[in-house]
Structure 1
């Protein structure tokens, strides 16, 4: 067969295969056109499930007589005119395909009257020849579209239509979704001459909630938690249902809108499901009605034939923004019901993103409960093992440093977190009295005779240990420095590095998201211990939720990412159970000991030693300037030289 240009009728019928899936698709396209026309009232009349008749009447701006024929032509639209318009779409329709595609598989009548026009005009098109005729008509201001005998000329498509009840059920669902997206527009749905649904226009928030209740039911409203968050050009409002209060029969209520357009986008669904992670029973699904607003230039809506999906230019930012907004509201609602008898700590929170360097502003409005901190996105647990289960309270017991000697981790600005009221309150944790013994007794120094010369850096150029010559006894490095030969404990350097990285300065450590949350099954007393320290652990990047006797870890700080987290947290709970309150410094020392202990039994290579010391010099130069005796010692070679020279 030779290459040839398809006839307009055939081309439109092919396009209709994407746009017109079933009668509900026709209703969606026509109602969206009515919304784009500025209508405040839309009447939808259906006969025989949409197979016989679909009539959409609105009071919008109408179509001029001279444009009626053009309105039924393919790729004819008033929504966009340039490429710039396509990149910043706010209207529901924009391709100019719907009316042409619908008219190619039905008998379509378009009647319209703009307010400035003295009379109404009607155009008629039939799928067989696609010829459009125009004649005068009687009609009030606005537009009416009648679609008769859908798929009459495509028997194969008509054969795949379901029963009248099923097809009308799909139409009803489409109208429900659109009614939720535009509460300011009155909508009436009739079937076979009987008024089935009537949605009155909502003028205020109370009326909007009444429409929400009429569409989603009282079960949804009883468990609904309102949320409202904003950050830069991003905003999200709506309602989510807490799983603990979720009644049966609302699992199918999952409505999300982007700039007023109803969506079934995979990224949005993933963010919401991830926010519910760890709080749903096997037979539960998230229930929500959410409205996302975003700069139209930051989203591409021209990626799906039915416009059900979009592509975000900053997908990670949008994902985490939705995730954190939903997660925070859910955790706030779940806190009091998770642990009866354990008093939850509720504090104000800074609303920030877990995506890169994006910091979200505080929520504009939330539920009646105070919001709690939540930054979760999930990571795969590493399988590196570092020790036995029974030594949780013993790790780091031989380490003791005063607060003045503990190294501080000064990361790059992209790793800093703003200091807020939450962090100030969490930092004010009781410290053990001075007369008590330190939690980690001081270790004995290495058994090497030091020289009397004090090892102190004199200038910025001296903030280096020197050149690593070789590895001695698996865990020590011989270093040539300006002061002589140094023997340095690599295990101690590794511990000090981890300690500096784990000290919660500047409001806390940056949480690292986990792709797969870590779930821990704990005893009731262990859960009480974890609940007591839960807020304090957020300073170390550890964010968790507690639900039905299980602790789910959602984020950890970067130094903890390579650890066997299941073993680490089991030991950590044992350690935390030793006292009712433990200072941040002691927790940091314990964590540093735990994660550095894996290396104590291994031999260091020369390359590993060089990298380790470079990290110590960069992150905690104070250990180069004033090293503790447990880190390094100058080796006195004078007696050896004297012996070799027979002096």
Structure 2
């Protein structure tokens, strides 16, 4: 078959296969165009989940009548004019493919009027065939009408799902947009009935979070705002006790654009690694801002993905920001009070009418020598039932300074079945799982003690020859200094061979060969690795679990109070080492309702 140019209609339909996956794709492209045009109100009318009709009306700047045919021509746009514009693009749309692609697979009408024009104009496109410009009465702004999506591409149409499913995809994208653009009013109707309205204006962040993601998320959200290295990360992350079975509440925006990025997702997952129960997913709404020239948004036809020029820096920035914020979550903290991570790295609690209780810095409580002893105790003979390899909190630290203020976890009043501590605070009842709480306290102290020592390398008597792929050998050679900081002395000895001369001392007996392969995979994929730290933490977690107070161990009231005070001062003490909660709170109002008091 000879080579020949494709017809324009077929070119547009091929492009539609990349840009227009389903009705939600059409809504996304058209609403983004409206926002780029300066719209402050967008009306979205749908029929049959968007398959029968999608109508987008906006109050933006409009399109000149003579430019309507250009708007449905491929690679025609008002948003970029040069390579410099493309490299620093700040608009949501810029490729000039959306309208002609959509028009090629639907019955399409574009109507618009600029504020200074006497009347509007409209253009009809039927399956890619462009009609004539005709006058049309129209308010300032633009209306795009898409009927019978994929009517001329039956193979594509049969892959669409049920009406409810397609509508759900549209609603999810609009939810994502509402989180990012609280300044824009969105009105949605389906089959002639109003179905959703996101108001614009003075709505505060908590109200918008509750409106889009629910009251539970809003109550548990920690507000993040941190800047450094030309980057800014702000938004909200849910505290660990609010986790999900799936990744359905994970929203990332780069310079205002909703995207998916594996590197950032990996960084978030690592930050939560120490506080989430196995298999659970974190929830977050995060906005990453950086110079547009440092990110390429032109790597995906539908603009779902981006490519960072400093991917390793951004991965580390996101990880450290969130890890630091989560480290400041302590048992007794008020979930309704958002934490703000400031530029200096500190997390502050804004005033909520009553003074927020802030734990004072505490001494480490476990010296390096003690840590070594704890290692030995882990493998020593079993102790007597009431003996503890790891000491309980100091009893002389049981009570706070006499300022008359009740601490968040209150004061112990009893022990239940030798498992739970019952305490009374200013609001009601606090229940603490004493083993889980003591386990976290011991774990954090062991980590701090080991961080003071650093990762030491243990030389191997005989270097280990390790066969790897050529890409991993390249990574090992390039990242030799990084590997050395992790305790590995690795030299490339051939195109696909490494010579391992030393391994992390603490993990020398924990399959270092497999660990090194995982580290190389992380460095290749994400530019960073926490495999060694994670393996170390797993060992320390096991030690802390063995050393923690056991069930049925009777504690005195001063011992219980000392444990409560250490929980309040210990990072991440709201969860045990395995991600389970360490405490629960029941307000007096809740308890009253149990007994129908006041009814």
Q: TM-score per shorter chain, which class? A: 0.5 to 0.7
Partner of residue 362, structure 1: 344
> TM-score w.r.t. structure 1 length?
0.57
2:244 counterpart of 1:244 = no
Work out the CA distance in 2 between the residues paired with 1:571 and 1:30.
Answer: 51
Q: Deviations over 1:510-542 (max 9, x none)?
A: xxxxxxxxxxxx998776555446546544457
Work out the CA distance in 2 between the residues paired with 1:276 and 1:112.
Answer: 48
2:134 counterpart of 1:135 = yes
**Distance verdict in 2 for CA 1:364–1:391, change over 3 Å:** closer
Shift of 1:23: 0.4
**Distance verdict in 2 for CA 1:366–1:313, change over 3 Å:** farther
> TM-score w.r.t. structure 2 length?
0.61
Work out the CA distance in 2 between the residues paired with 1:525 and 1:170.
Answer: 45
Partner of residue 84, structure 1: 84
Work out the CA distance in 2 between the residues paired with 1:197 and 1:72.
Answer: 30
**Distance verdict in 2 for CA 1:528–1:307, change over 3 Å:** closer
SS of 1:161 mapped into structure 2 = coil
2:287 counterpart of 1:291 = yes
Taking only aligned residues, the RMSD between alpha carbons, in angstroms, comes to 3.6
8 Å CA contact 1:19–1:101 kept in 2: the answer is yes
Partner of residue 343, structure 1: none
**Distance verdict in 2 for CA 1:523–1:199, change over 3 Å:** closer
Q: Deviations over 1:520-570 (max 9, x none)?
A: xx998776555446546544457xxxxxxxxxxxx9993756324257977
Alignment of 1:624-635 (within 5 A): none
Work out the CA distance in 2 between the residues paired with 1:350 and 1:133.
Answer: 56
**Distance verdict in 2 for CA 1:284–1:77, change over 3 Å:** same
Work out the CA distance in 2 between the residues paired with 1:151 and 1:2.
Answer: 30
Partner of residue 208, structure 1: 205
Work out the CA distance in 2 between the residues paired with 1:109 and 1:322.
Answer: 44
Q: Deviations over 1:398-439 (max 9, x none)?
A: xxxxxxxxxxxxxxxxxxxxxxxxxxxxxxxxxxxxxxxxxx
Work out the CA distance in 1 between the residues paired with 2:221 and 2:147.
Answer: 41
8 Å CA contact 1:110–1:146 kept in 2: the answer is yes
User: Equivalent of 2:326, from 322, 327, 330?
Assistant: 330
Alignment of 1:320-469 (within 5 A): 320-333=316-329, 335-336=330-331, 361-363=343-345, 390=376
Work out the CA distance in 2 between the residues paired with 1:283 and 1:173.
Answer: 23
8 Å CA contact 2:446–2:540 kept in 1: the answer is no
SS of 1:69 mapped into structure 2 = helix
Q: Deviations over 1:343-399 (max 9, x none)?
A: xxxxx9999xxxxxxxxx5148755587999xxxxxxxxxxxxxx9749999xxxxx
Shift of 1:244: 2.2
Work out the CA distance in 1 between the residues paired with 2:227 and 2:266.
Answer: 20
Deviates more, 1:273-282 or 1:290-299: 273-282
Alignment of 1:208-287 (within 5 A): 208-246=205-243, 251-287=247-283
Unmatched runs of 5 consecutive residues or more in structure 2: 334-338, 351-355, 362-373, 381-434, 456-481, 489-502, 510-535, 548-599
8 Å CA contact 1:391–1:571 kept in 2: the answer is no
Work out the CA distance in 1 between the residues paired with 2:221 and 2:31.
Answer: 28
Partner of residue 152, structure 1: 151
**Distance verdict in 2 for CA 1:539–1:96, change over 3 Å:** same
8 Å CA contact 1:111–1:143 kept in 2: the answer is yes
**Distance verdict in 2 for CA 1:533–1:78, change over 3 Å:** same
Partner of residue 398, structure 2: none
Number of equivalent positions: 401
Q: Deviations over 1:262-306 (max 9, x none)?
A: 011111111111111132223411100111111100000001121
8 Å CA contact 1:225–1:367 kept in 2: the answer is no
Structure whose alpha-carbon radius of gyration is higher = 1
**Distance verdict in 2 for CA 1:176–1:526, change over 3 Å:** closer
Unmatched runs of 5 consecutive residues or more in structure 1: 339-347, 352-360, 374-387, 395-521, 543-554, 578-647
Work out the CA distance in 2 between the residues paired with 1:7 and 1:372.
Answer: 72
Work out the CA distance in 2 between the residues paired with 1:364 and 1:190.
Answer: 44
Partner of residue 44, structure 1: 44
8 Å CA contact 1:121–1:136 kept in 2: the answer is yes
**Distance verdict in 2 for CA 1:531–1:163, change over 3 Å:** closer
8 Å CA contact 1:20–1:101 kept in 2: the answer is yes
2:2 counterpart of 1:61 = no
8 Å CA contact 1:541–1:557 kept in 2: the answer is no
User: Equivalent of 1:306, from 302, 309, 322?
Assistant: 302
Shift of 1:322: 1.0
Partner of residue 404, structure 2: none
**Distance verdict in 2 for CA 1:371–1:303, change over 3 Å:** farther
8 Å CA contact 1:229–1:364 kept in 2: the answer is no
8 Å CA contact 2:113–2:141 kept in 1: the answer is yes
Work out the CA distance in 1 between the residues paired with 2:346 and 2:175.
Answer: 27
User: Equivalent of 1:558, from 469, 480, 485?
Assistant: 485
Partner of residue 117, structure 1: 117
SS of 2:5 mapped into structure 1 = coil
Q: Deviations over 1:481-536 (max 9, x none)?
A: xxxxxxxxxxxxxxxxxxxxxxxxxxxxxxxxxxxxxxxxx998776555446546
Work out the CA distance in 2 between the residues paired with 1:371 and 1:79.
Answer: 51
2:25 counterpart of 1:25 = yes
8 Å CA contact 1:108–1:147 kept in 2: the answer is yes
Shift of 1:209: 2.3
